[in-house]
Amino acid sequence: MTGTPTHCPYCALQCGMTLDGGAAASGVPADGAPVRVAPRDDVPANRGGLCQKGWTAAELLTVPDRLTAPLMRRTRDAPLEPCTWDDALDRTVAGIGRLTAAHGPDAVAVFGGGGLTNEKAYQLGKFARVALRTSQIDYNGRFCMSSAAAASGRAFGMDRGLPGPVTDLAASGAVLLAGGNPAETMPPFMRHLADMRDGGGALIVVDPRRTATARQADLHLQPAAGTDIALANGLLHLVLAEGLAAEDYIAARTSGFDAVRTVANAYWPDRVERITGVPLPQMREAVRLLAGADRAHVLTARGSEQHAQGTDMVSAFINLALALGLPGRPGSGYGCLTGQGNGQGGREHGQKADQLPGYRKIDDPAARAHVAAVWGVEPDALPGPGRSAYELLSALGTPDGPKAMLLFGSNPVVSAPRAASVEERLGALDLLVVADFVPSETARLADVVLPTAQWAEESGTMTNLEGRVLRRRRAVRPPDGVRTDLEIIAALAGRLGAPGEWSTDPGRVFGELRRASAGGIADYSGITYARIEAEGGVFWPCPSEDHPGTPRPYLDRFPTPDGRARFVPVEHRGAAEDVDAEYPLYLTTGRVLAQYQSGAQTRRVRALADAAPGPFVELHPDLAERLGVEDGQDVKVESRRGAATAAARVTDAIRRDTVFMPFHWAGEGRANLLTGTALDPVSRMPEFKVCAVRISA
């Protein structure tokens, strides 16, 4: 099929697809036929495959409640009503001016999203620091892979999802995947693991549930929720005890091993089995498979990262990979399965509270000077680090917190932990402005709603889980009355009198991003739109236009001061909130095949809503029998923060001491009404993956 080549709007695999329909309005070509999707076979990530979400992605363009005009409340308690763009923008700027005059620039906050293009993420970070001069900016990617980013940074000096092209996995002899379920979250990824297994390789899955991915594994380790550090340290103990460590590699390419060896010595098999519930023979088999492979990978995902000790959990698995000599070895390494579509690029260029473009630290004087020069401001004019995502959301409307928020590409009323409290804080703001294409649960709380263009209606770049920068191409015109995020940001910056250029052209913005990132860890300065199109994507870092890009960044040295990877000793601490007599069960949360993130997109696609119509609670048959619960019966799940109600799904795929809920739905089945708010001290990741609950029929 001929048409516009682009990429899927959902996960970080960024599957290639083609859209037909030309430059038609509202997702409908001139002949009245809807836009059609076809997979591309020239994109290595998906090789001609798509999941159900990708196949139905074009339906997002014509959902019945698509926003096509700004909405505004005339008074605090009035309903949202259509208004003109001038009225909406003037109301926004007037509110910003009033609140900053009274409380200072940090009275206004910005919250972004991991689905924004690199251009929009960059411009949003610049807008916060230059137009608003606020330090209060973060994004929902903090809830995604921030723990893996922090652990990778301290081990390797750099954070990038995979250690090489995803196609490297097919030649692996073994892959250990901790806390990931790509069979449901990014199904085309499973092709690479299937190719590995067809070639004689082994898949090892670490997960408290027997997920769709675990069912395809050669070995499934099923630890108690929150015990991954103990398990990884126990595996490392066996590597050392059985003489399987890569001693030459450790001596030549790492530092800090002695401290980690001392810690690992205390995780003898019987102790680890008691903590995790994983039998010793399974642990031995996992070590044998990893150590016996010529090429191997250790991968982590949200199940091992969304914890109050998530950074240390990832570090424990990185230590295991380093002891086996995997990182920096061709076709081997440690990697993270990035979740959101641009979770990688979204944090590299300025949406995080502590970062500037190019993955620079905002409190680094040299970084501030470089970026300020690109932006045409003085370094001292840039604010310092602000609050992380949950800390920012929980401070809204408090005496010392922001009084206004501008929110792009996120739905925290559903996706944030302790969601009822977050909803309350959003309601306490003097001004909430939401840019979205549908009336999401968060948009319905807003004082001003700005209708934005969708993925197929705009151009830009995305960075997938490989670190490959890709082109998103506009295939259809947005509906009349809709503006792109770049147009919205430019209009607000102009009304605020912000210095510098605020282009609405993605190509010009990307050119500025290249200059701002130059010399940083995530250096995009050598990447151009023309190169991306000619080469099918370019891997960062790419410091010049004649540089080939860096598909495998650690082959010669690690980007640390001494060029060595760093072992980091970590100890098992358990969940921040453990079970007790009052709340005797662990709750873990996650995703299902037909839904995505907060569900604001997928719940509006009929085929996906039919496939996964509502929330459920997964519990073991023994637990169901003890509670007198039948399959399909509504049950109440309570934590110390709230209660949710959903249908029971009785299955032996879950541990007896654990229940599972997906988090895609609003209403009384909202899983994040229950989740805890303990934060990782390094990454500031909330503990989504384990809290104590009780169940009643």
The pLDDT score that the predictor gives to residue 92 is: 98
pLDDT (0 to 100) of residue 24:
42
Same domain membership, residue 150 and residue 126: no
Secondary structure (3-state) at 643: strand
End-of-domain residue from the set 279, 303, 337: 337
Query: Which pLDDT score, from 0 to 100, does residue 33 have?
Result: 62
Verify that 45 and 85 share a domain, yes or no: no
Give the integer Cα–Cα distance in Å for 85 and 484: 13
CB 331 within 8 A of CB 164: yes
My answer on whether 221 and 301 are in the same domain is: yes
Residue 388 within a domain: yes
Claim to verify: residue 316 and residue 397 sit in the same structural domain: no
pLDDT of residue 25: 41
Q: Does residue 528 lie in a domain region?
A: no
First to last CA, the chain: 52
Number of domains forming the structure of the chain: 4
Q: Which of 62, 85, 108 is the last residue of a domain?
A: 62
81 plus 24 within the same structural domain = no
Among 337, 371, 394, residue at a domain's last position: 337
409: helix, coil or strand? coil
User: Is residue 267 domain-shared with residue 398, that is, in the same domain?
Assistant: no
Q: What CATH number should be reported for the domain holding residue 601?
A: 2.40.40.20
> Which tokens sit at 550?
């860096």
User: Is 432 within the bounds of a domain?
Assistant: yes
Please tell me the predicted confidence (pLDDT) of residue 29: 47
Q: Both 421 and 492 in a single domain?
A: yes
| pTM of the predicted protein model | 0.95
- Give the separation between CA 632 and CA 645, rounded to whole angstroms: 12
> What backbone phi and psi angles, to 5 degrees, belong to 117?
-60, 165
In a domain, 259, yes or no: yes
Judge contact between 134 and 109, C-beta under 8 A.
yes
- Does 370 share its domain with 440? yes
What's the confidence (pLDDT) of residue 62? 92
Would you say residue 549 lies in a domain? no
Burial class from Cβ neighbours inside 10 Å (0-12, 13-18, 19+) for residue 624 reads buried
Q: How many CB atoms lie within 10 A of CB 656?
A: 13
| Per-residue pLDDT at 127 | 98
pLDDT digit string (tens) for 464-473?
999 999 999 9
Residues 150 and 129 in one domain: no
Report yes or no on 206 lying in a domain. yes
| 379 falls within a domain | yes
Domain containing 35 — which CATH number? 2.20.25.90
Residues 349 and 495 in one domain: yes
Query: Which CATH number fits the domain that encloses residue 279?
Result: 3.40.228.10
In a domain, 598, yes or no: yes
Tell me which residue range forms the domain holding 112. Answer: 71-143+342-457+480-505
CATH of the domain at 427: 3.40.50.740
Question: Which residues of the chain carry a pLDDT beneath 70?
Answer: 1-2, 22-33
**Residues 350, 266 within the same domain:** no
CB 63 within 8 A of CB 605: yes
- Same domain for 381 and 500: yes
Q: What is the pLDDT of residue 586?
A: 96
